[in-house]
Amino acid sequence: MSALLNNLNPSIKAIAVVIAVCLLTFVFDPFTPLIYGIVVILFTFLFGKVNWKLYIGYYLIICLLSIGMLWTSIAFADEPTNPEVTTQFLFWELPKENVTVALSLTLRMLTFAALSFMFIFTTNMVHFILSLMQQCKLPPKLAYGILAGYRFLPLMREELQQIRAAHQVRGVRRASGIKESIQQYKRYAIPLLAGAIRKAERTAVAMESKGFSGEKARIFYRQFRVTFIDWLFLSSMIMLLIIIVAISIKLGYFSWYKGQF
Amino acid sequence: MIQVRELTLWFNEHEHPTINKLSFDLRSGETMLLLGPSGSGKSTLTCCLNGIYPRELDGEIAGDIHIFGTSIQDTKPGEMSKHVGVVFQDPESQFCMLTVEDEIAFGLENIGTPRDKIATKIDGVLQMVGLTAYKEANIHSLSGGQKQKLALACILALEPDFVILDEPTANLDPLAKQAFIQTMKHIQEDKKIGLIVIEHQLDGWVSFIERAFILSKAGHGVFDGSLTEAITKHADLFQLEGIALPSITELALQACDNNQAAFSKIPFTYEDFTTHMSYLDQTFLETTAKKSCALEPIIEVHNVKLSKKKQKILRDITFSWAGPSFIAVTGANGSGKTSLTRLLAGIEFPSAGNIYVNNRSINQWKQKELRQQIGYVFQNPEHQFITDRVFDEIAYTLRLRAYPEATVQEKVHQTLASCQLQGMENRHPYTLSQGQKRRLSVATMIVDEQNILFLDEPTFGQDAASTRELMHLLAARYKNGTTIIMVTHDMDLVDKYANRVVVLKNGEIVADETPTQLWERPHLSKWNLDYPTRIKLKRHMEGSHVCITK
């Protein structure tokens, strides 16, 4: 395993994923996304340093979801135009058209997941945002705001736990029923928001006293450049898709998306 | 230099100005203590000095501040940071990056430091504050003291002419606090930076800062001059405005009032003490051991363990406390003090072991009954408020118990009086001052006459007057038979009030004894603790010429 994927420019990696996702939406047959998905997972395996336990865990969740989706899109499919053309699917004899639509949707979802996981599991969030500022001209005000917010999330969760415990000590009963739950969250919301606003204000003041002005022209300590490897990656991701499309045309599986569902 | 001229500042919703006709000069390299009670406008002044106000101000400003000739009225965002840097009180909310290195780089990027110089500068400031080993560490993993040193490093990297420290050590344990002050002292002496220190506790700072500027509650500058002069000539001012004296000064003055001491110059530090003190009656430094009348076992703990996310927070804790007692729980930041008290109060549950409250396992108590036995005051009082009026806040528990309204009225008024909150009945809890909020949160926890009261760092962020009032209130409760269990870092409070002290280190109890026994131990610093002023002074006197008998 190498860390090639981890060292790629995060913005280019994101762009590659977005382009691949967009192109895939034009394809309708189940074969192309299936092969492309497998290739992407292999790619992640071979060229990325990834926390595999977590990867597999999340992927299994996606798989469960997609089985549910497969089932519902078969069960609640539109009336088929050619109901007599059927196919054997597991134990059932079903209209071929419906099965194709369902399989294509499901595999497409799994491939999208594989693509986004390839990005998420090999990218440092901070580096991604820094790179967005440098390559994609994301305004620093927004970018550093997101970074500060990213730091806040665990703090907010801690604070909510604190408030919950504090109210419990006051003798507030645990809510039963939807109405009470809503009321309870309303009560939590005030101290939570008051705390969050105060913290945000403090952080903003602290950032400004470190000289932050939100100016677009700035120097970056961690510079992200776009190199030959990045372009190679981007083009190979697209080339791969084109090759797979070509193969599936050759084998006769390919079809465009023409508003089938 | 900094020139403040007739500065007056109003916030929009406020009737009175927060800062009122303030004028002073601070030359480059000069140091100054900015003193005043909570709400006297110290932090507001900080915001003016580093150019946040008037730009971000919801209100009006009159008068002016010039920093090296530039008025704060015409500065662009971020520009003042080159001249004035600030370290704030809360270590959690002053960072926006994830790692130490990135955070320091952030400031340097902002002021346009050339890229090839950033790395050298980062290494330089990290060495200055002693954090070199943590360059690549995640900020989240640092201790409170390290976070404050990092905040200082970020500011120093920008090489400002002035640094303002806004209660930088309020959250720190005694050892971390001393370490921070020492670091600052060395840097100041080395770099000759102008320094403004805002603090409630002056110990340590007075060893190298002599000038004091005192703000009154109404935001007036009431004194500007040497601290010695302030204390000798205007001692009433400190009392009136609720400003704490350095603990050693306070002790010396008290002894003097009792005719048990004499000095040529008022002492601020231990060194001063040896030089200027001509005589001190040693009996003054002996306290009568606080007798404990604890009889009934109130909390018993057997082999309690607590782990979170594979991290051991408490390891195998066993003890038995009798009541009524005044118990202090102390130890380094992150040693498990808060976690322990939360388990004892039934807010969280242990991973293993048993806890008995009033001879009954905590699992057998119904939540409702347990709350009648135990009160718990959280670190942030606002977290505990649930109603919109001070009166309802205190009455809440009583109404839950369905007391007749007449009894509720009577009890609430009694509690308001004992917590010095009379006249506040109709205020919204959020609009109270820090000290009042704290007393209100205590009030809500004693109104039902709970016989065990936990407090998590109740004196944190409070000025001298609020601390005094709060401690009086707690001492009175203790006299009436309530067991008080207080998490604190303040060794003087432990010495003065507690009759039992529990020290935690890495989730284990390393000492559980009377304060007198604890002070007899050598090397409290291995637990990040310090001795109280009284004991330190006694030790210091043993090696000095100060006459100790009459």
Segment B128-186, tens digit of pLDDT: 999 999 999 999 888 888 999 999 999 999 999 999 999 898 878 888 899 999 999 99
pLDDT at B546 over 70: no
Q: Residue B518 and residue B327: Cα distance in Å, rounded?
A: 13
Q: Residue B100 and residue B103: Cα distance in Å, rounded?
A: 5
Please give the residue of chain A at the shortest CA–CA distance from B75: A213
pLDDT for residue B423: 87
| Confidence grade of residue B266 (pLDDT, cut at 50, 70, 90) | confident
ipTM: 0.85
**How many domains are there within chain A?**
2
Q: Which of B55, B90, B102, B110 to mutate to test the interface with A (most CBs of A within 10 A)?
A: B110
Interface check for B111 against chain A (CB to CB < 8 A): the answer is yes
| Confidence grade of residue B394 (pLDDT, cut at 50, 70, 90) | very high
| Confidence grade of residue B294 (pLDDT, cut at 50, 70, 90) | low
The domains found in chain B, sorted by start residue, are 2-244 (3.40.50.300), 249-288+538-542 (no CATH), 296-513 (3.40.50.300)
Q: Residue B451 and residue B370: Cα distance in Å, rounded?
A: 11
Contacts of B119 in chain A (CB under 8 A): 221
Mean pLDDT across chain B, nearest whole number? Answer: 89
Interface check for B155 against chain A (CB to CB < 8 A): the answer is yes
pLDDT at B225 over 70: yes
Rounded to two decimals, the pTM is 0.87
Q: Residue B168 and residue B89: Cα distance in Å, rounded?
A: 5
Contacts of B51 in chain A (CB under 8 A): 208
Q: Among positive and negative, which fits the CA dihedral B404, B409, B412, B413?
A: negative
Residues B529 and B331 sit within 8 Å (Cβ to Cβ): yes
Q: Residue A167 and residue A122: Cα distance in Å, rounded?
A: 41
| Confidence grade of residue B422 (pLDDT, cut at 50, 70, 90) | confident
Two structure tokens written together for A204: 């903003």
Q: Among positive and negative, which fits the CA dihedral A31, A36, A37, A43?
A: positive
Note whether residue A255 is domain-resident.
no
Interface check for A136 against chain B (CB to CB < 8 A): the answer is no
Cβ A211–B93 below 8 Å, yes or no? Answer: no
Single-letter code of the amino acid located at A163 = I
Cβ A213–B76 below 8 Å, yes or no? Answer: yes
Q: Which of B47, B110, B348 sits opposite A210 (nearest CB)?
A: B110
Mean pLDDT across chain A, nearest whole number? Answer: 89
The better pLDDT of the pair B90, A111 is held by: A111
Please give the residue of chain A at the shortest CA–CA distance from B101: A221
Two structure tokens written together for B340: 């322990």
Please give the residue of chain A at the shortest CA–CA distance from B84: A209
Across B399-427, average pLDDT: 90
Interface check for B348 against chain A (CB to CB < 8 A): the answer is yes
pLDDT at B543 over 80: no
A71 and A166 in a common domain: no
Backbone angles phi, psi at B125, to 5 degrees: -70, -30
pLDDT for residue B8: 93
Of B388, B385, B384, B408, nearest to B398 (Cα)?
A: B408
A76 and A37 in a common domain: yes
Q: Which of B87, B99, B109 to mutate to test the interface with A (most CBs of A within 10 A)?
A: B109
Please give the residue of chain A at the shortest CA–CA distance from B381: A166
Backbone angles phi, psi at B537, to 5 degrees: -65, -40
A121 and A13 in a common domain: yes
Distance in Å, alpha carbon of A33 to nearest chain B alpha carbon: 37
pLDDT for residue A1: 56
pLDDT for residue B550: 46
Interface check for A153 against chain B (CB to CB < 8 A): the answer is no
> B 432-471 residues with CB below 8 A of A?
444-445
Q: Which of A151, A208, A221 sits opposite B78 (nearest CB)?
A: A208
The owner of tokens 């550093």 is A144
List C-alpha distances in Å: B400 to A170, B404, B448.
10, 11, 11
pLDDT at B547 over 60: no
User: For chain A, how many residues are written?
Assistant: 261
Residue A79 is given by DSSP the state P
Cβ B115–A219 below 8 Å, yes or no? Answer: yes
A228 and A205 in a common domain: no
DSSP for B328-359, please give it. EEEESTTSSHHHHHHHHTTSS--SEEEEEETT
Note whether residue A259 is domain-resident.
no
pLDDT for residue B171: 79
Two structure tokens written together for B11: 């916030």
- The domain in which residue A30 lies consists of 4-128+224-250
Of A32, A112, A110, A103, nearest to A74 (Cα)?
A: A103
pLDDT for residue B333: 83
Q: Which of B76, B109, B378 sits opposite A221 (nearest CB)?
A: B109
Q: Residue A55 and residue B286: Cα distance in Å, rounded?
A: 65
Q: Residue B151 and residue B135: Cα distance in Å, rounded?
A: 13
A159 and A53 in a common domain: no
A237 and A122 in a common domain: yes
Cβ A206–B94 below 8 Å, yes or no? Answer: yes
Contacts of B347 in chain A (CB under 8 A): 165, 168-169
Across A20-35, average pLDDT: 91
Could you report the per-residue pLDDT of B270-284, keeping only the tens digit for each? 888 888 877 888 788
Interface check for B88 against chain A (CB to CB < 8 A): the answer is yes
Contacts of B382 in chain A (CB under 8 A): 191, 194-195
Interface check for A157 against chain B (CB to CB < 8 A): the answer is no
Q: Which are the contacts of A62, defined by CB distance < 8 A and separation ≥ 6?
A: A109, A110, A113
A102 and A59 in a common domain: yes
Could you report the per-residue pLDDT of A45-80, keeping only the tens digit for each? 899 999 999 999 999 999 999 999 998 888 887 777
Contacts of B438 in chain A (CB under 8 A): none
Interface check for B476 against chain A (CB to CB < 8 A): the answer is no
A239 and A113 in a common domain: yes
Residues A149 and B121 sit within 8 Å (Cβ to Cβ): no
Q: Omega of the bond prior to B324 within 30 degrees of 0, cis?
A: yes
> B 362-381 residues with CB below 8 A of A?
367-368, 371, 375-376, 378, 380
A169 and A102 in a common domain: no
Distance in Å, alpha carbon of A51 to nearest chain B alpha carbon: 18
Backbone angles phi, psi at B399, to 5 degrees: -70, -35
Q: Residue B9 and residue B221: Cα distance in Å, rounded?
A: 13
Note whether residue A261 is domain-resident.
no
Note whether residue A216 is domain-resident.
no
Note whether residue A242 is domain-resident.
yes
Two structure tokens written together for A13: 């990696």
A96 and A184 in a common domain: no
pLDDT at B231 over 90: no
Interface check for A176 against chain B (CB to CB < 8 A): the answer is no
Q: Residue B170 and residue B462: Cα distance in Å, rounded?
A: 9
pLDDT at B290 over 70: no
pLDDT for residue A233: 94
A237 and A119 in a common domain: yes
Please give the residue of chain A at the shortest CA–CA distance from B78: A211
Across B285-311, average pLDDT: 81
Across B513-519, average pLDDT: 92
Q: Residue B326 and residue B485: Cα distance in Å, rounded?
A: 6
- In chain A, % helix, strand, coil (3-state, to 5) comes to 70, 5, 25
Distance in Å, alpha carbon of A48 to nearest chain B alpha carbon: 23
Note whether residue A63 is domain-resident.
yes
Which is it for strands B500-505 and B352-357: parallel, antiparallel or unpaired?
Answer: unpaired
Q: Which of B47, B108, B386 sits opposite A205 (nearest CB)?
A: B47
pLDDT for residue B181: 95
Could you report the per-residue pLDDT of A113-167, keeping only the tens digit for each? 999 999 999 999 999 999 999 999 999 999 999 999 888 888 888 889 989 999 9
Note whether residue A135 is domain-resident.
no
A117 and A73 in a common domain: yes
Note whether residue A53 is domain-resident.
yes
Helices of type H across B401-485: 405-418, 434-446, 464-479
